[in-house]
């Protein structure tokens, strides 16, 4: 049985404990969005195998941000597949150093800095992407700068499928659409602006880093959060 769930044609959510990875196929081959916590690489390769694909079928890995729960298995997946890593210029230094950007409470951030580094990827594997780019996947995957949770966070939207890969700019924990929690947010004003920007796109499916993908939300749910965020912004 497929380890993930198909959330749209040829787009799969692969849960890796408390965080999600997303795997999809189109005419450009297979693409992964985010790479989970450390030692989760077999979830991806087993999923590909169940879909009749070898490891090298994975052509690229797109990164939303460099928290260890989103890039923990990146180096292992990249090394086995040979995939290109697509990331922003803000994210690249973290991918090369294996460090997580600072956005956690002080004591927790100190612990992370000392004990929770991830394995870097070779610089030659990284291809830079930027806000406003339209990547040639899923009919034109829009690159959207969504700073706030971290100051190098990006989200990705496919108008053709209606799927928004929101990373941690939004979440669907406990069945509710939420923005980045204040306690783990680098810049609250940025986070609010980013969440509003994403909600204004009116996606058909929210594919977040945390919480199950959602496509059955009501207009009221979106508007309630939108109005709450607008009030916080003002």
Encode pLDDT of 103-156 as tens digits.
777 777 777 776 678 999 999 999 999 999 999 999 999 999 999 999 999 999
pLDDT at 165: 98
pLDDT at 3: 67
Tell me the pLDDT tens digit for each residue of 206-231. Answer: 999 999 999 977 777 777 787 787 77
Beta bridge partners of 156: 143, 165
Q: Give the model's confidence band at 1: pLDDT under 50 very low, under 70 low, under 90 confident, else very high.
A: very low
Q: Would you tell me how many other CB atoms lie within 10 Å of the CB of residue 83?
A: 26
In sequence order, which residues have a C-beta less than 8 Å from that of residue 14 and are 6 or more positions away?
A: 3, 4, 20, 21, 22, 23, 36, 43, 44, 47
Instruction: Tell me the C-alpha distance between 208 and 19, whole Å.
Output: 9
Sign of CA dihedral 210, 207, 150, 38: positive
Q: What is the mean pLDDT of residues 7-29?
A: 95
When the pLDDT of each residue in the chain is averaged and rounded to a whole number, the result is 91
């Amino acid at each position: 049985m497929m380890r993930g769930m198909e959330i749209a044609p040829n787009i799969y959510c692969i849960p890796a404990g408390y965080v999600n990875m997303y795997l999809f196929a189109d005419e450009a081959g297979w693409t992964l969005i985010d790479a989970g916590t450390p030692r989760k690489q077999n979830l991806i390769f087993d999923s590909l195998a169940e879909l009749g694909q070898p490891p090298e079928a994975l052509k690229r890995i797109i990164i939303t941000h460099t928290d260890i729960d989103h890039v923990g298995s990146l180096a292992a997946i990249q090394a086995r597949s040979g995939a290109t890593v697509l990331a922003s210029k803000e994210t690249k230094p973290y991918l090369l150093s294996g460090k997580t950007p600072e956005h956690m409470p002080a004591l927790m951030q100190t612990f992370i800095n000392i004990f929770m580094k991830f394995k870097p990827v070779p610089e030659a594997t990284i291809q830079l992407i930027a806000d406003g780019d339209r990547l040639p996947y899923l009919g034109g995957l829009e690159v959207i700068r969504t700073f706030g949770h971290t100051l190098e966070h990006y989200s990705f939207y496919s108008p053709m499928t209606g799927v928004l890969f929101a990373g941690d700019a939004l979440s669907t924990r406990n069945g509710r659409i939420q923005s980045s929690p204040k306690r783990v947010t680098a810049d609250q004003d940025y986070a609010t602006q980013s969440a509003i920007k994403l909600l204004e796109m009116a996606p058909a499916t929210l594919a977040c880093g945390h919480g199950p993908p959602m496509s059955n939300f009501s207009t009221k749910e979106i508007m309630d959060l939108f109005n709450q965020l607008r009030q916080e912004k003002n």
